Structure 1
Amino acid sequence: MGADHTRPAPSAPPGVRRILVATVVPLFVVTVIAALVLWPRDSRQADGGAEPARHHGTVTRVVTEPCPPTPEAPGAVEGPCGTVTVRVEQGPDNGQQVETPVPAGPGAPAVAVGDEVVLVQLADPADPTATSYQIAEHQRGKPLVWLVALFAAAIVAFGRLRGLAALAGLGASFAILLTFVVPGIAAGGSPLLIAITGSALIMFVVLYLTHGITAQTSVAVLGTLGSLVLTGLLGSLATAATHLTGFGSEEATTLSMYQRDVDLHGLLLAGIIIGSLGVLDDVTVTQAATVTELAHANPGLSRTQLYRAATRVGRAHIASTVNTIVLAYAGASLPLLLLLTADSRPVSQILTSEFLAQEIVRSAVATLGLIAAVPLTTALAALVATAGRGPADDPARDTGPAPTPRPSADRDAALEALSASRPGGPSTPAPARWPDPERSTDTAW
Structure 2
Amino acid sequence: MAHSHSHTSVDYGPPRRGLATVLTIVVLALAALAIAAMVVLWPDTNNVPRDQGPYNGQGVSTLNAKVTGVDPFDCNSGGEGPDGMPQVKGDCAHITATVDDGTATFNLDAARYKAGIKPGDEVKILRIAHKGQSVFYEFLDFQRGVPLTALAAIFAVLVVVVARWRGFFAMVGIGVTLLALTKFVLPAFLSGEDPLAVAIVGSTAIMIVVLYLAHGVSIRTTSALFGTLVGIGLTGGLGLAATAWTSLSGIGSEDDQVLVATVPTLDLSGVVAATMVIAGLGVLNDVTVTQASAVWEMRALQPAARGASLFASAMRIGRDHIASSVYTLVFAYAGSAMTILLLITAYQRGLAEVATSEEIGTEIVRTLVGAIGLVLAVPITTIFAVWLAPKAIDQTPAEPSPSHRGNHAGTAGG
Which category describes the TM-score, using the shorter chain as reference length? 0.7 to 0.9
Task: Return 296-305 or 210-219, whichever deviates more.
Answer: 296-305
Alignment partner, residue 103 of structure 1: 108
8 Å contact from structure 2 (residues 75, 91) kept in 1: no
Task: Provide, for residues 80-121 of structure 1, a one-character-per-residue CA deviation record: whole Å limited to 9, x for no partner.
Answer: 34x4332213xxx2xx234x1452232346332222121221
Distance 1:288 1:132, change over 3 A: same
Query: How big is the shift at 1:346?
Result: 4.8
Distance in structure 1 (CA, Å) of the matches to 2:98 and 2:266: 42
- Equivalent of 2:267 in 263, 267, 271: 263
Distance in structure 2 (CA, Å) of the matches to 1:186 and 1:135: 28
Task: Provide, for residues 55-90 of structure 1, a one-character-per-residue CA deviation record: whole Å limited to 9, x for no partner.
Answer: 11222334x2543779x99xxx93134x4332213x
Task: Provide, for residues 246-276 of structure 1, a one-character-per-residue CA deviation record: whole Å limited to 9, x for no partner.
Answer: 2234432221121111111110011000011
Alignment partner, residue 17 of structure 1: 20
Alignment partner, residue 120 of structure 2: 114
2:239 matched to 1:231? no
Query: How big is the shift at 1:24?
Result: 1.7
Distance in structure 1 (CA, Å) of the matches to 2:296 and 2:75: 74
Alignment partner, residue 95 of structure 2: 84
Distance 1:171 1:69, change over 3 A: closer
More helix by share: 2
Query: How big is the shift at 1:141?
Result: 1.0
8 Å contact from structure 1 (residues 185, 262) kept in 2: yes
Q: What SS does structure 2 have at the residue aligned with 1:281?
A: helix
5+ residue gaps, structure 2, are 1-5, 81-88, 401-414
Task: Provide, for residues 406-430 of structure 1, a one-character-per-residue CA deviation record: whole Å limited to 9, x for no partner.
Answer: xxxxxxxxxxxxxxxxxxxxxxxxx
8 Å contact from structure 1 (residues 216, 292) kept in 2: yes
Distance 1:232 1:56, change over 3 A: same
Pairing 1:289-328 to 2, within 5 Å after superposition: 289-328=293-332
- Equivalent of 2:399 in 398, 401, 406: 401
Q: What SS does structure 1 have at the residue aligned with 2:248?
A: coil
Distance 1:78 1:354, change over 3 A: closer
5+ residue gaps, structure 1, are 1-5, 403-445
Distance 1:239 1:394, change over 3 A: farther
Distance in structure 1 (CA, Å) of the matches to 2:75 and 2:312: 75
8 Å contact from structure 2 (residues 126, 138) kept in 1: yes
2:68 matched to 1:57? no
- Equivalent of 1:41 in 39, 44, 53: 44
Distance in structure 1 (CA, Å) of the matches to 2:312 and 2:124: 59
Query: How big is the shift at 1:20?
Result: 1.6
Larger radius of gyration: 1
Distance in structure 2 (CA, Å) of the matches to 1:101 and 1:385: 66
Give the letter for the 1:214 counterpart: S
Query: How big is the shift at 1:149?
Result: 1.1
Pairing 1:172-191 to 2, within 5 Å after superposition: 172-191=176-195
8 Å contact from structure 1 (residues 24, 222) kept in 2: no
Distance 1:13 1:187, change over 3 A: same
Query: How big is the shift at 1:282?
Result: 0.5
Give the letter for the 1:10 counterpart: D
Alignment partner, residue 407 of structure 1: none
Distance 1:110 1:158, change over 3 A: same
Distance in structure 2 (CA, Å) of the matches to 1:145 and 1:263: 33
8 Å contact from structure 1 (residues 118, 135) kept in 2: yes
Distance in structure 1 (CA, Å) of the matches to 2:107 and 2:7: 59
Pairing 1:433-444 to 2, within 5 Å after superposition: none
8 Å contact from structure 1 (residues 303, 386) kept in 2: no
Alignment partner, residue 223 of structure 2: 219
Pairing 1:274-423 to 2, within 5 Å after superposition: 274-343=278-347, 346-387=350-391, 393-394=393-394, 398=396, 400-401=398-399
8 Å contact from structure 1 (residues 302, 394) kept in 2: no
Give the letter for the 1:86 counterpart: A
- Equivalent of 2:129 in 118, 123, 131: 123
Q: What SS does structure 2 have at the residue aligned with 1:114?
A: coil
Aligned length: 377
Distance 1:253 1:124, change over 3 A: closer
TM-score under structure 1 normalisation?
0.78
TM-score under structure 2 normalisation?
0.84
Give the letter for the 2:90 counterpart: E
Distance 1:246 1:117, change over 3 A: closer
Task: Provide, for residues 357-404 of structure 1, a one-character-per-residue CA deviation record: whole Å limited to 9, x for no partner.
Answer: 2222111111111011111111111111144x5xxx346xx58339xx
Query: How big is the shift at 1:289?
Result: 0.7
2:30 matched to 1:30? no
Pairing 1:65-80 to 2, within 5 Å after superposition: 66-67=73-74, 78-80=90-92
Distance in structure 1 (CA, Å) of the matches to 2:375 and 2:279: 15
8 Å contact from structure 1 (residues 223, 284) kept in 2: yes
Give the letter for the 1:44 counterpart: P
Distance in structure 1 (CA, Å) of the matches to 2:241 and 2:142: 44
Distance in structure 2 (CA, Å) of the matches to 1:221 and 1:335: 36
